[in-house]
Amino acid sequence: MTTFKYKPFYEYSGPTRSAPFRERLTDEQIQQNKRDFYSRLDWAFANTDASFEIDSTGIVSIITAVLSESECDEIMKRHLNSLDLFANKVREPQC
């Protein structure tokens, strides 16, 4: 099994080429989008073998035996984009 970890966050840097009418979200909207991020993981990773763990700091661990890192990253990217969020990939320290 492989584990990929992500920490979602919101950042507003103005409109973009792909979203020219993008506006800043309110604090309430940001919190709702973060809640939706966690609650919709099953939907985002439907038809995969992925399971999820969320720690107390908000880091989500995606555990899979089938998905490659790039496949997992792409699914996560689409999921985050749908909620106007970003994520830092969390890497475990190498021993």
Which residue has tokens 């939907």?
43
pLDDT tens for 45-83 read 999 999 999 999 999 999 999 999 999 999 999 999 999
How open is the CA angle 28-85-89, to the nearest 5 degrees? Answer: 130
Whether the Cβ atoms of residue 44 and residue 78 lie closer than 8 Å to each other: yes
Q: In what order do the strands lie in the sheet with 60-64?
A: 51-54, 60-64, 2-9, 86-90
pTM value? Answer: 0.87
CATH of domain 2-90: 3.30.70.870
Indicate the Cα dihedral angle 84, 90, 6, 11, nearest 10°: -20
